[in-house]
DNA sequence: TTCGGGCACTAAACCGCTCTAGTTGCGGGA
DNA sequence: TCCCGCAACTAGAGCGGTTTAGTGCCCGAA
């Protein structure tokens, strides 16, 4: 005989399948003595629920889905992502909820997977990352009616829950700090312009130009890779009027930028100040250590997990959680612009 | 009406459920014209399979399970793990197989999950990491009869497949290199002694002592954390007869060790050579850059994924794949021991 | 004594799909 | 002309649970 089923237990105990089901689910309708006996036999026979069978009846999958449309290789490289993932898992595993993870080619494929998993009850909810400026996923997920937490904001995501940090505030704090140090030529090596948070950062910088009396405040878009980060840095440092400070949208790119500065004999921080969005071990052990906007990404993952679990428990209780704005951790890579500057 | 089922399609087309099932699964038994019509209607109604219902009948889950008994926070910190994970995903997503990921407290809980997922058909197979010296999981997984790939070896894992690199060879290559440079006092900051690969590395070092005429070859066990790595380094450097070279079992610990050396004013590499098992961005950007045993962890993950997929396709074809032995990448952290040494 | 009500439990439908056994209709060979 | 055999399809039983609509039975109140 294969795996025991409730029918086997029922037969052995001499009751009906229904009674066994009630007993195993701690539901009223069976006498205590019978319940004890059923549990006993179930244990003896080493019975375990068959989740597929339960799912047919509409039960929980005890898993949440995370579909990522990115090259898989970047996941291992980005400390942000690794941290987020582990924070997520930590939060979910408190309730023994697993994470169903899949990497796909593009957003179209991602949406297909949402439809699949939703209709097959593969997961109880979705977590959406890499929010785009005009994101087609939002609409689909709303239509599917599956609990969903969007990481990113602020802004309308229809009826979906969201967890976000204020990228605008964060960028402003960096720019103000640099301006206070005396920097007027500030450049920004941004990430993918399609991302919503990239846009908000670019706009925040642009908006500061007049207020802080900046001479120059240019944003260069990249794909977040270290190579494009390096290329952008090279371009900036080759200008006649080179920036005295560069803000990078990720720690990986900041590190690449620091390397380029060294290669071009531009001294950091004397001739160039460097600031990174996202803090990690990378920025700490760089030489010089890089000033960075730090946030507890692991905790962020935990918050997303919590929002997700809450949403699954009460699908109508939409959440909109603003997390702490990243704070600036000043290290050796920033200083007042050198006197030699014009 | 909720989601369309094959019954809905059957009704609309005017055939039986069975015919629809045959048509949708590309199975003989329906005329081409009928099949086309069924597919057409299915598409119109936006039908999708309900995997839970299929699973009841014994179909694939299109997912493999990875259960990890570690504190979640280490996942984000260890580049090795992040890389492995992304390599795995990359390999699996080629066949649209998802990864079902869960972090648990301990091995006992891990085993419980294996039983659960196996009996519920939650996954088609398991990937086992962090192989222990006498690992209770092996037996359970064999008994469950679910396709399983063990990462680690060599050695018997009963009937389970495995993918492994030769840690002994790797360690020997490091020790021989250091000995050739003239080092006689070599220490080893090891990982968890319960891990099989830790044991193999420790033994390889011990075995080299006589052959290479080493004065000293001590292994200190740690839990792989940077703090214990630092503590072990402090202990080693505080000895009357301090080692002239330290081999670390992970890049994270090597970095911590480098920090301790700086703090204790021990110059690297003049007074102390440092080598790391596992290469990553951490070793590259350290100052000085750390000599490391490098392997393509992303590719390793891909190989595991491949073995897994092959095993699922043909459960009886046991695999035993030895991957390339990590090669030593020499950087600035190693040199001949200083002349001042005794 | 009768009846209502509640408890403990049973029987069977149901979830969506697969698969086997069986039915129908049609063409071809004897 | 009859029957065989095959292709095309249908009916319905399962898969392992959950859940609902009962069914006895006992007890207490009228």
- Give the number of residues written for chain B: 342
- The integer distance in angstroms from the CA atom of A29 to the C1' atom of D19 is 12
d(CA A321, CA A284) in angstroms, rounded, equals: 29
d(CA B296, CA B302) in angstroms, rounded, equals: 10
- The integer distance in angstroms from the CA atom of A40 to the C1' atom of D27 is 31
- Tokens 């505030």 belong to which residue? A169
Residue B69, SS3 per DSSP? strand
Judged against a pLDDT cut of 70, whether residue B2 lies above it is answered with no
Q: What is the pLDDT of residue B341?
A: 44
d(CA A58, CA A61) in angstroms, rounded, equals: 9
Pick the residue from chain B with its C-alpha nearest to A55. Answer: B52
Question: B89 vs A96: CB contact, 8 Å cut-off?
Answer: no
Residue B39, SS3 per DSSP? helix
Give the pLDDT confidence of B309-326 residue by residue, as tens digits.
988 888 778 888 899 989
Q: For residues A2 and A38, is the Cβ–Cβ distance under 8 A?
A: no
Judged against a pLDDT cut of 80, whether residue B301 lies above it is answered with yes
- Which residues from A are below 8 Å from B121, CB to CB? 50-52
A5 interfacial to chain B (CB closer than 8 Å): no
A49 interfacial to chain B (CB closer than 8 Å): yes
**Cα angle B92, B94, B99; round to 5:** 25
- Tokens 């704005």 belong to which residue? A325
CA distance A198 to chain B (A): 23
Pick from B3, B51, B89: which is nearest to A72 by CB? B89
Binning chain A into helix, strand and coil, the percentages to the nearest 5 are 45, 15, 35
Does any strand D atom come closer than 7 Å to the Cβ of A121?
Answer: no
How crowded is the C-beta side of B16, counted as CA atoms within 13 Å? 5
Give the pLDDT confidence of A103-157 residue by residue, as tens digits.
887 899 899 889 888 877 788 899 999 999 889 999 999 888 888 999 987 777 7
Question: B122 vs A287: CB contact, 8 Å cut-off?
Answer: no
Give the pLDDT confidence of B107-132 residue by residue, as tens digits.
998 998 888 888 777 888 999 999 99
Question: B101 vs A103: CB contact, 8 Å cut-off?
Answer: no
Judged against a pLDDT cut of 70, whether residue B338 lies above it is answered with yes
Restricting to A residues 210-239, those with a Cβ less than 8 Å away from any Cβ of B are none
Judged against a pLDDT cut of 80, whether residue B247 lies above it is answered with yes
Question: A102 vs B99: CB contact, 8 Å cut-off?
Answer: yes
Residue A160, SS3 per DSSP? coil
From the list A255, A337, A331, A244, the residue with the least C-alpha distance to A292 is A331
B51 interfacial to chain A (CB closer than 8 Å): yes
**Chain A residues 1-40 within 7 Å (CB) of strand D:** 2-3, 5-7, 17-18, 21-22, 24-25, 27
Q: CA-CA distances (angstroms) from residue A156 to A139, A164, A194, A257, B315?
A: 11, 12, 17, 35, 48
DSSP label of B157? B
Question: A89 vs B99: CB contact, 8 Å cut-off?
Answer: no
Q: What is the pLDDT of residue B339?
A: 47
- pLDDT bin (cut points 50, 70, 90) of residue B332 is very high
A154-183 as b/e, with b when 16 or more CB fall inside 10 Å? eeebeebbbbbbbbbebbbbbbebbbebeb
- The tens-digit pLDDT sequence of chain A (342 residues) is 567 888 889 988 888 888 999 898 888 888 888 899 998 898 888 888 887 788 777 777 888 999 988 877 776 677 788 888 889 988 998 888 888 888 887 899 899 889 888 877 788 899 999 999 889 999 999 888 888 999 987 777 778 899 999 999 999 999 999 999 999 999 999 999 999 999 999 999 999 998 999 988 999 999 888 889 999 999 999 999 999 999 999 998 998 999 899 889 999 899 999 999 989 878 887 888 999 999 988 899 999 999 999 888 887 788 888 999 899 999 999 999 974 443
pTM: 0.81
d(CA B299, CA B158) in angstroms, rounded, equals: 25
Mean pLDDT over the full length of chain B: 88
Q: What is the pLDDT of residue A284?
A: 83
Question: B116 vs A87: CB contact, 8 Å cut-off?
Answer: no
């Amino acid at each position: 005989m294969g795996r025991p089923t409730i029918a086997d237990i029922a037969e052995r105990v001499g009751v009906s399948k229904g009674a066994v089901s009630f007993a195993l689910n701690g539901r009223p309708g069976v006498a205590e003595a019978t319940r004890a006996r059923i549990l006993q036999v179930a244990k003896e026979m080493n019975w375990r629920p068959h989740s597929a069978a339960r799912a047919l009846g509409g039960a929980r999958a005890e898993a949440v889905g995370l579909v990522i449309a990115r090259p898989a290789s970047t996941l291992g490289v980005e400390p942000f992502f690794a941290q987020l993932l582990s924070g997520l898992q930590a939060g979910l595993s408190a309730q023994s909820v697993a994470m169903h993870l899949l990497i796909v080619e593009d957003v179209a494929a991602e949406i297909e997977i949402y439809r699949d998993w939703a209709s097959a009850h593969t997961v109880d909810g979705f977590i959406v990352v890499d929010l785009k400026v005009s994101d087609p996923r939002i609409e689909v997920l709303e239509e599917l009616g599956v609990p969903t937490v969007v990481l990113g904001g602020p802004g309308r995501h229809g009826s979906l829950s969201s967890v976000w940090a204020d990228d605008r505030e964060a960028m402003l704090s960096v720019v103000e700090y640099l301006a206070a140090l005396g920097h007027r030529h500030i450049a920004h090596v941004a990430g993918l312009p399609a991302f919503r948070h990239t846009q908000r950062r670019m706009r925040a910088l642009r908006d500061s130009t007049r207020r802080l009396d900046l001479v120059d405040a240019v944003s260069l878009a990249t794909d977040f890779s270290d190579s494009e980060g390096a290329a952008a840095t090279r371009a900036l440092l080759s200008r006649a009027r080179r920036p005295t400070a560069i803000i990078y949208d990720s720690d990986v790119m900041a590190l690449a930028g620091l390397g380029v500065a060294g290669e071009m004999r531009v001294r950091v921080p004397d001739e160039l100040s460097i600031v990174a969005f996202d803090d990690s071990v990378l920025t700490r052990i760089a030489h010089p250590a890089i000033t960075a906007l730090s946030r507890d990404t692991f905790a962020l993952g935990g918050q997303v997990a919590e929002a997700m679990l809450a949403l699954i428990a009460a699908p109508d209780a939409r959440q909109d959680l603003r997390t702490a704005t990243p704070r600036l951790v000043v290290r050796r890579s920033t200083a007042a612009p050198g006197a030699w500057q014009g």
